[in-house]
Amino acid sequence: MSLVPLLDKALAADLSKSEWRAFAALLRQTVGFNKISDALTFGRLAQLTGLRKDHLKPAVQGVLKAGLFSQSAHPDYEFMYTVAHAESIKPKDVTHTNEGNNTKTEINYPKEIDHETQQALSPALAKLRSSAAQDVCDLLALAIRNRSIQTTPVRFGFALISAAKNGTLDKTALRSNPQQPAQAPNPQPKAVNKQIDDDFFYRNLAKIQGKTLETIKAEFANAHKKATVPPVALSNY
């Protein structure tokens, strides 16, 4: 991984102090976590840089105008930032070592899983076989992409890891929904795809909590009845 072209361009750009802070924060969130892109909100960038939002936005624009990063819309985190000269910065597969049996767990994190979630899950994922850890990450990414998670990605990830350890991980959704770009058209009818996602979530939750599928569905149905807003489909979360 070579940062030389990117850093040379940054040095030649005559960035202001605020722009350097914005550039450093974006670099930290991407290359710092072995990625070339990351989805971020202005709130998160403000936290990292220590800049007020009214100062942060022009600073980020300065970084973009200098050609150091590109920016694209993101449905959940405002913007996706991608490092320039990405062709010369090729992230390696993230590898965790399981010291207990001297084996290595190799994981390709899908782009939907942000670095905070990766950090939280990586120690537990390192205890799984590479194939199981990858299945967990692919299932989590699919759920994030389809917005079928009613909790946080981290908690849902741990639930999947627990199922993988117990040998009860349901991979039906992966077979029904092969990996595809987040913005690609879904080849399945919406109603069918929703049912697959819902059943996948309910079945795994039932296995993890040791309850029957009917009990889990009944609990969610009662929770929706008590809600103060109209119930919405699970796949819309």
Whether 134 and 157 have beta carbons less than 8 Å apart is answered as no
Half-sphere exposure of 96 (CA within 13 A, CB side): 20
pLDDT at residue 224, rounded to an integer: 52
pLDDT in tens, 59-82: 999 999 999 999 998 877 789 899
Count of beta carbons in the 10 Å neighbourhood of residue 202 = 18
Half-sphere exposure of 201 (CA within 13 A, CB side): 24
pLDDT in tens, 1-25: 467 888 888 999 999 999 999 999 9
> In angstroms, how far is CA 184 from the centroid of its own chain?
17
Of the CATH numbers 3.90.1150.10, 1.25.40.340, 1.10.10.10, 3.40.50.300, which one belongs to the domain with range 4-88? 1.10.10.10
pLDDT at residue 59, rounded to an integer: 96
Overall pTM > 0.85: no
Phi, psi of 163 (to 5 degrees): -65, -40
Domain range summary for the chain, segments of one domain joined by +: 4-88, 94-236
Give Rg (Cα) of the chain: 20
pLDDT tens by residue, the chain, 237 residues: 467 888 888 999 999 999 999 999 999 988 888 788 888 888 999 999 999 989 999 999 999 999 999 999 887 778 989 988 665 555 444 444 444 444 566 788 888 898 878 888 888 898 898 889 999 999 999 989 888 888 888 889 999 999 999 889 988 888 765 544 333 334 444 444 444 456 666 676 677 667 787 887 777 666 555 544 444 444 443
Show the beta-strand stretches assigned E in 84-227.
94-98, 103-107
Secondary structure class of 80 (helix, strand, coil): strand
